Amino acid sequence: MPRNRRTTLAAPPPDPFGEHRRTLWRERLQLLGGRFDFETDSVRLLRLVQAAYARLPAHRLGDTLPHFRVRLVLTGTGRRAPARSPGEPPPVKPLAGAGILCGAMAHANFVALTPQQHAALIVVATDMLRHPYHLRYELLEFAVYVLAARAQALVPLHAACLGENHEGVLLIGPSGSGKSTLVLHALRAGLEFVAEDSVLVEPASLKATGVANFLHLRRDSLRFLGRDDRTALLRGSATIRRRSGVEKLEIDVRRRGYRLASAPLRIRAVVFISRRSAGGRSLLAPLRTSAVLERLAATQRYAARQPGWQSFQARVARLPGYELRRGSHPLAAVETVRELLAR
């Protein structure tokens, strides 16, 4: 009998796919309106999950709490594919078919999820652990957000959300518009935080949820802070590099004592942040309903293709919409948002 017998479909090993392998660590967390069970055999991947989602408020959108399962597997070093720039992993390539959504990064890093099954599999090569930001943002958070949105028919928006007294404002703006700077000063002023750039909204109720973990800012955005506050933020923050090549500070808002929204906030207004200066006039300029809907469609192209978009649009059409222009200091914009919430 040969010493090395080749495995075939006719004679597979007892568990060729590792379906019945015992999981060493489990982390159960409630976020984005659902209950997520994260399972892994790697303590390093467990720490990645905890870094992303530990100490977050337990948001719930309805009477039922959907259950999701995310398995993370660490494999050996994969064959390298050329990156777009030194020190950066290859970009994620989205794929789909047979009810399975997949994002593949090179040869040994990918995420595959089935919204109908409420499940996801994330496979990570050991050398990818050198890129925790990309691993967390492009594989882990991708899986969690897509599962939560698809299973609960939520509208996924590229926006920030701040609020007070259970009510919130959507803040929408392009890169460089000052959205993250506004969010930082709003948190320092005591407003509640839902998310910086990815918000999930329930169309029927207009309740918004998100992951209130990190805030990403350019270093020059801290120029409005005092020297001691600026030094403290720099000392306690990591530096990440976006795919565009832009470097940003990654500020963990959970460690700063800021107010994280304890429950989803009901959207009461939509605000589009502009790079234009107010020029001594009011920072807030009202928009016609048609202009609000046009801007939403133009800035939310992915969300506009999701099933709940029409219902979301119909309800947003009943809300006030504004353009928020720049003042001399971000705190002026914060006070404008606070006044808007108080109306």
Q: What is the pLDDT along the chain (343 residues), one digit of tens a residue?
A: 455 555 555 666 676 556 666 778 999 999 999 999 999 989 999 999 999 999 999 999 989 999 999 989 888 754 454 445 556 777 776 755 556 666 767 667 888 899 999 999 898 988 889 999 999 999 999 999 999 999 999 999 999 999 999 999 999 998 888 899 999 999 999 999 999 999 999 999 999 999 999 999 999 999 999 999 999 999 889 999 988 888 999 999 999 989 999 999 999 999 999 999 998 899 999 999 999 999 999 999 999 999 999 999 999 999 999 999 999 999 999 999 999 999 8
Q: Is residue 214 part of a domain?
A: yes
- Which string of b and e fits 312-338 if b means at least 16 CB within 10 Å? bbeebeeebbbbbbbbeebeebbbbbb
Residues 137 and 160 occupy one common structural domain: no
Domain boundary among 134, 152, 170: 152
- Its domain, for residue 222, covers 156-342
Residues 166 and 34 occupy one common structural domain: no
- Return phi, psi of residue 156, to 5°: -90, 115
Total tally of structural domains belonging to the chain: 2
Task: Check which CATH number belongs to the domain holding 334 and give it.
Answer: 3.40.50
Q: Is residue 54 part of a domain?
A: yes
Residues 231 and 334 occupy one common structural domain: yes
Residues 218 and 163 occupy one common structural domain: yes
Residues 145 and 197 occupy one common structural domain: no
Residues 127 and 241 occupy one common structural domain: no
Q: 95: how many CB neighbours lie within 10 A of its CB?
A: 12
Residues 140 and 174 occupy one common structural domain: no
Q: Is residue 288 part of a domain?
A: yes
Domain boundary among 152, 175, 190: 152
What's the gap between Cα 284 and its chain centre? Answer: 27
Q: Is residue 185 part of a domain?
A: yes
Residues 161 and 298 occupy one common structural domain: yes
Q: Is residue 14 part of a domain?
A: no
Domain boundary among 114, 131, 152: 152
Residue-wise pLDDT tens digits, 59-101: 999 899 999 999 898 887 544 544 455 567 777 767 555 566 6
Question: What's the sign of the alpha-carbon dihedral 221, 227, 233, 235?
Answer: positive
288: CB partners within 8 A, 6+ apart? 321
Residues 137 and 218 occupy one common structural domain: no
- Residue-level pLDDT at 24: 83
8: CB partners within 8 A, 6+ apart? none
Residue 192 near residue 259, CB atoms below 8 Å: yes
Angle in degrees, CA 264, 202, 194, rounded to 5: 30
Q: Is residue 11 part of a domain?
A: no
- Residue-level pLDDT at 221: 92
| DSSP-derived 3-state class of residue 176 | coil
Helices (H) and strands (E) in the chain, counts: 8, 19
Residues 290 and 338 occupy one common structural domain: yes
Q: Is residue 83 part of a domain?
A: yes
Q: Is residue 1 part of a domain?
A: no
Residues 278 and 160 occupy one common structural domain: yes
Supply the DSSP string of 256-314, one letter for each residue: TT--B-SSPEEEEEEEEEEEEE-TTS-SEEEE-HHHHHHHHHHH-TTGGGSTTHHHHHH
Residues 238 and 282 occupy one common structural domain: yes
